[in-house]
């Protein structure tokens, strides 16, 4: 039976102490987290730059390896010189092709750039929104799906209650952590994570840390 943990005094994860506070709360919600924590300890806090460059980097990284994402990101910097909404809007199709961007990613990046330029998307304001509102604001832009929105909220904003249920690593880690017979899909994992509010961001960090251990031990892809 799950229990309710106290609401966090913090909304943004800024330190290991914040992670530790969330870990204590998760154990109150569900003692099964004790087994995960015994393996991972306090996981490293993952934070990436926010704003337009951070969102662009996440879009670039969709459905490609880390190495490929880094290479495309570097080519994009080389070709465009800077990653701003104005520069992307003015970039030619040929320039974006030279960056190594697929056609769908080109369309998504142009849509994001146009939304930022005409103030339909206020990236600075996202930092003041709750996790669900961030997701709604970002997925309103053509080409941005739940995974991209949730990863931006988690990694760039450091939101304490964001959770990327569509992330395959989180799904696989949850399968092992909670003794599931098969890997949960995004919908099933999202439903499971509801009970971890308002600390779903800490749950994500723990599951990523657990996945890294499993991958090293069992050769999980």
Domain boundaries defined on the chain: 16-46+161-218, 51-156
Dihedral, CA atoms, 59, 63, 68, 71, nearest 10 degrees? -10
Classify domain 51-156 at the CATH class level: mainly alpha
Q: What is the pTM of this model?
A: 0.90
Give the pair of three-digit tokens for residue 1: 């039976």
Per residue in 120-136, pLDDT (tens digit) is 999 999 999 999 999 99
Average pLDDT for residues 77-93, to the nearest whole number? 96
Contact of 34 with 26, CB cutoff 8 Å = no
**Residue 16 neighbours by CB under 8 Å, 6+ apart:** 42, 44, 45
Residue 9 has pLDDT above 80, yes or no: no
Q: How far apart are CA 70 and CA 64, in angstroms?
A: 10
Residue 4 has pLDDT above 60, yes or no: no
Q: Quick one: pLDDT at residue 180?
A: 96
Q: Quick one: pLDDT at residue 86?
A: 97
Average pLDDT for residues 160-167, to the nearest whole number? 96
Whole-number mean pLDDT of the chain? 93
Q: Looking at the DSSP assignment, which residues form a beta bridge with residue 159?
A: 12
**Residue 152 neighbours by CB under 8 Å, 6+ apart:** 50, 54, 55, 58, 126, 134, 138
What does the DSSP assignment read for 50-119? -HHHHHHHHHHTTTS-HHHHHHHHHHHHHHHSS--HHHHHH--HHHHHHTT--HHHHHHHHHHHHHHHTT
Q: How far apart are CA 221 and CA 218, in angstroms?
A: 9
Residue 212 has pLDDT above 50, yes or no: yes
What does the DSSP assignment read for 139-201? HTSTT--HHHHHHIIIIIS-BTT---TT-HHHHHHHHHHTT-SS---HHHHHHHHGGGTT-HH
Give the pair of three-digit tokens for residue 51: 């704003």
Q: Quick one: pLDDT at residue 141?
A: 97
User: Which band of pLDDT confidence, cut at 50, 70 and 90, is reported for residue 215?
Assistant: confident
Q: How far apart are CA 39 and CA 45, in angstroms?
A: 16
Per residue in 23-47, pLDDT (tens digit) is 999 999 999 999 999 999 999 998 9
User: Which band of pLDDT confidence, cut at 50, 70 and 90, is reported for residue 219?
Assistant: very low
CATH of 16-46+161-218, one of 3.90.1150.10, 1.20.140.10, 1.10.1760.20, 1.10.1670.40: 1.10.1670.40
């Amino acid at each position: 039976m799950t229990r309710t943990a106290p609401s966090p005094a913090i909304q943004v994860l800024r330190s290991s102490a914040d992670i530790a506070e969330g870990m204590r709360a998760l154990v109150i919600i569900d003692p099964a987290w004790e087994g995960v924590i015994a393996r991972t300890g306090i996981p490293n806090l993952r934070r990436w730059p926010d704003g337009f460059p951070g969102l662009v980097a996440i879009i670039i990284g969709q459905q490609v390896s880390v190495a490929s994402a880094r290479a495309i990101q570097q080519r994009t910097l080389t070709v465009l010189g800077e990653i701003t909404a104005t520069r992307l809007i003015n970039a030619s199709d040929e320039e974006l092709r030279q960056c190594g961007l697929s056609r769908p990613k080109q369309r998504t990046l142009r849509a994001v750039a146009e939304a930022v330029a005409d103030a339909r998307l206020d990236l600075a304001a996202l930092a003041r929104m709750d996790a669900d509102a961030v997701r709604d604001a970002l997925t309103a832009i053509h080409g941005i799906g739940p995974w991209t929105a949730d990863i931006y909220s988690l990694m760039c904003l450091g939101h304490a209650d964001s959770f990327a249920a569509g992330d395959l690593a989180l799904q696989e880690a949850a399968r092992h952590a909670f003794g599931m017979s098969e890997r949960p899909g995004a919908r099933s994992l999202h439903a499971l994570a509801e009970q971890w509010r308002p600390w779903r961001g800490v749950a994500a960090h723990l599951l990523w840390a657990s996945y890294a251990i499993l991958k090293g031990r069992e050769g999980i892809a």
